[in-house]
Amino acid sequence: MAQTALLVARDLVALLRVDGRNARVLDGVSLALAPGSIADITGPSGSGKTTLLRALARLLPEVTGSLTLGSVPAENITPTAWRAAVALLPQKPAIFSGSVAENLRVPWTLKERHGQQPPTDEVLAAALVSVGLDDVALDRDAARLSVGQQARVALLRVLLTGPRVLLLDEPDAALDDASSDAVGALLRDFVEAGGAIARVRHHRSDGLATQRYVLEGGTLDALPAGVPEPEFGEVSL
């Protein structure tokens, strides 16, 4: 693993109950994300892609192996601090009752951000413009947004908290091409500022990935440059 890596996972092993039996969903998976990198992860349905993202976010305490963030071992970082730095956006992110502005400010209602100043309306409005939501008012009922609009609001909510690593599970699954391009530009800005991203994807390549992997049979294998991603079904684990 490169010493310059921002997030490093070594020999991750995850045993999950699948169809009444224990399955080794992750079998010694290792991954390194350097600043400025975007790793795309594909694989068949049930291969453990979502499990891998959750393990990287330290949401599965039963997973064995080691994680480091900026060369600091995970055991020396509290789970709350880890998840502030390594942020996971699930495939179906939560949209809460209330306005768009209230949804974007949800992280600042949590105990760990007590005393921190939430972003202003001006910052939130500019963030909406950055993902093509300039026609969405801050006081609009978030429940009345389309699925694609809700997905972009959820992504902005994560980005506004200032993570160092983004873990994205199908971030453009509900987006049209124009919206996907807007999100892609936002992600490009994030890594150009020194962040790193791991994405589970099934869509056509958007050309942003600096690393590409296939997760199958519990192992994570790199795809050589120029080799197209194989087509697989939807995520289930």
Confidence at residue 230, expressed as pLDDT on a 0 to 100 scale: 65
Strands of the chain, DSSP E: 7-18, 21-33, 38-42, 64-69, 72-73, 86-89, 165-169, 196-200, 211-216, 219-222
* Whole-angstrom distance, CA of residue 176 vs CA of residue 166: 21
Confidence at residue 227, expressed as pLDDT on a 0 to 100 scale: 65
Give the CB-side neighbour count of residue 83, counting CA atoms within 13 A.
Answer: 14
Q: Which fold has domain 7-97+163-222?
A: Rossmann fold (3.40.50)
Residue whose token pair is 């996907």: 180
With beta carbons less than 8 A apart as the criterion, state whether 167 and 88 touch.
Answer: yes
State residue 189 phi and psi, 5-degree precision.
Answer: -60, -40
Confidence at residue 232, expressed as pLDDT on a 0 to 100 scale: 57
* Whole-angstrom distance, CA of residue 200 vs CA of residue 148: 17
DSSP 8-state secondary structure symbol assigned to residue 6: S
Nearest to 218 by CA among 53, 21, 51, 39: 51
* Whole-angstrom distance, CA of residue 108 vs CA of residue 122: 16
* Residue type for position 84: A
* Whole-angstrom distance, CA of residue 31 vs CA of residue 90: 19
pLDDT tens, the chain, 237 aa long:
444 799 999 999 998 877 778 888 999 999 999 999 999 999 988 889 999 999 999 999 999 999 999 989 999 999 999 999 999 999 888 899 999 999 999 999 988 888 889 999 999 999 999 888 999 999 999 999 998 899 899 999 999 999 999 999 988 887 888 888 888 888 999 999 999 999 998 766 788 999 999 999 999 999 887 666 666 554 445
Q: Where are the domains of the chain?
A: 7-97+163-222
